């Protein structure tokens, strides 16, 4: 398996006391994302974005669109995949320590800092005139390491969709499938990716730091600890998508190896109730709109 590579990875400010820890956590996020990005639907969607497939959706297509699944499931060539990873290698990563950062800096100017204060990440034009993905380290912190890495991977993938359309602004077609759930007036490739990959948009809750799923109509579903650990261990969002598609009265089960001896294991079933009662959309931050100047 090929691991993700970026042009550079830096911590801002450079003297952040959390520099070593931030680099270590991001390395785990990058490794986890390397697995996710090489499987569908992430691979097909990101490859289509990198090769401007969605830009070819015209107004006529919007009025009488082909089934969106035809676009998602269409096979992508090896050449197109290489173009995807070539563009990703051109992206800079900035791990932003929003608590340690207080003064002016030539990497993130005052205007960018103000629009970045309450967002998980954003894609900017850096002083080098190349796309830079800035991750707000403080807002990515979840209830435990598995939560931080899984959620960090989702935010990274979201921002990669923005970096792939640089230097223009969002080229996401204005059609219903690309409409965000958290902001119905915005069309975003990153949100579209999450809808197809996770069944909704992922957030960290402000009060308990737990990860939750925001679905159409402001419906909130918390991701249980067992499900989160399964997603983390399996390097896959497949069960999260199944969970998102559950009916109100349904539950689902996960298989988990249960050691019974030195060389054998049984399978233990973990029941996941569908907990949605009284849950409200209350995130630690938001997703930023494409490209902050």
Q: Considering only residues 217 and 76, tell me which one the structure prediction assigns the higher pLDDT.
A: 217
Residue 198 has pLDDT above 70, yes or no: yes
Residue 252 has pLDDT above 90, yes or no: no
- Categorize the per-residue pLDDT at 176 as very low, low, confident or very high, splitting at 50, 70 and 90: confident
Identify the DSSP state of 119: B
**Residue 99 neighbours by CB under 8 Å, 6+ apart:** 138
According to the model, what pLDDT value does residue 66 have?
47
According to the model, what pLDDT value does residue 293 have?
44
Q: Considering only residues 270 and 57, tell me which one the structure prediction assigns the higher pLDDT.
A: 57
Helix boundaries (H) for the chain: 19-36, 42-50, 59-63, 68-73, 78-88, 110-116, 145-163, 189-198, 225-234, 238-244
Identify the DSSP state of 224: P
Decide: residue 193, CB within 10 A, 0-12 exposed, 13-18 middle, 19+ buried. buried
Q: Considering only residues 3 and 272, tell me which one the structure prediction assigns the higher pLDDT.
A: 3
Lowest mean pLDDT among 2-11, 55-64, 237-246: 55-64
According to the model, what pLDDT value does residue 241 have?
92
Residue 170 has pLDDT above 60, yes or no: no
What is the C-alpha to C-alpha distance for residues 39 and 37, in angstroms, rounded to an integer? 6
**Residue 42 neighbours by CB under 8 Å, 6+ apart:** 36, 157, 193, 197
- For the stretch 186-195, pLDDT in tens is 888 899 999 9
SS3 state of residue 256: strand
In whole angstroms, how large is the CA radius of gyration of the chain?
19
* Average pLDDT along the chain: 79
The CA dihedral of 34, 35, 41, 44, to the nearest 10 degrees, is 50
What is the C-alpha to C-alpha distance for residues 80 and 50, in angstroms, rounded to an integer? 8
According to the model, what pLDDT value does residue 261 have?
53
Which candidate, 170, 211, 210, 209, places its Cα nearest to that of 193?
170
Question: Could you report how far apart the first and last alpha carbons of the chain are, in Å?
Answer: 35
- For the stretch 277-290, pLDDT in tens is 556 788 878 776 65
- For the stretch 128-163, pLDDT in tens is 677 889 898 877 889 999 999 999 999 999 999 989
Q: Considering only residues 270 and 183, tell me which one the structure prediction assigns the higher pLDDT.
A: 183
**Residue 147 neighbours by CB under 8 Å, 6+ apart:** 204, 209, 210, 211, 228
**Phi and psi, residue 98, nearest 5°:** -70, -20
What is the C-alpha to C-alpha distance for residues 45 and 190, in angstroms, rounded to an integer? 10
- For the stretch 253-274, pLDDT in tens is 776 655 555 544 444 455 555 5
Residue 179 has pLDDT above 90, yes or no: no
Residue 106 has pLDDT above 80, yes or no: no
For the chain, percent of residues with pLDDT exceeding 70: 70
Model confidence, pTM: 0.85
- Categorize the per-residue pLDDT at 233 as very low, low, confident or very high, splitting at 50, 70 and 90: very high
């Amino acid at each position: 398996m090929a691991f993700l590579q970026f042009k550079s990875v830096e911590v801002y400010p450079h003297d952040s006391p959390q520099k070593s820890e931030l680099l270590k956590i991001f390395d785990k996020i990058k490794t986890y994302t390397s697995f996710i990005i090489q499987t569908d639907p992430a691979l097909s969607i990101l490859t289509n974005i990198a090769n401007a497939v969605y830009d070819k959706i015209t107004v006529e297509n919007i009025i009488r669109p082909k089934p969106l699944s035809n676009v998602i499931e269409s096979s992508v060539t090896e050449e197109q995949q290489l173009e995807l990873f070539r563009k990703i290698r051109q992206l800079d990563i900035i791990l932003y320590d929003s608590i340690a950062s207080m003064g002016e800096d030539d990497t993130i100017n005052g205007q960018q800092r103000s629009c970045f204060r309450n967002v998980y990440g954003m894609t900017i034009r850096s002083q080098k005139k190349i796309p830079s993905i800035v991750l707000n380290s403080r807002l990515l912190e979840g209830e435990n390491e598995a939560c931080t890495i899984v959620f960090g991977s989702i935010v990274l993938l979201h921002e990669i969709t923005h970096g792939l359309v640089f230097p223009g602004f969002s080229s996401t077609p204005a059609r219903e499938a690309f409409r965000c759930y958290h902001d119905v007036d915005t069309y975003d490739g990153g949100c579209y990716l999450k809808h197809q990959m996770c069944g909704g948009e992922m957030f960290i809750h402000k009060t308990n730091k737990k990860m939750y799923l925001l679905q159409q109509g402001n419906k909130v579903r918390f991701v249980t600890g067992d499900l989160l650990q399964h997603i983390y261990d399996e390097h896959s969002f497949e069960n999260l998508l199944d969970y998102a598609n559950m009916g109100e009265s349904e539950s689902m089960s996960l298989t988990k190896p249960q050691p019974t001896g030195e060389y054998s294991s049984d399978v233990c079933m973990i029941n996941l109730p569908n907990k949605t009662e009284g849950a409200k959309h209350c995130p630690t931050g938001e997703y930023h709109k494409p490209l902050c100047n």
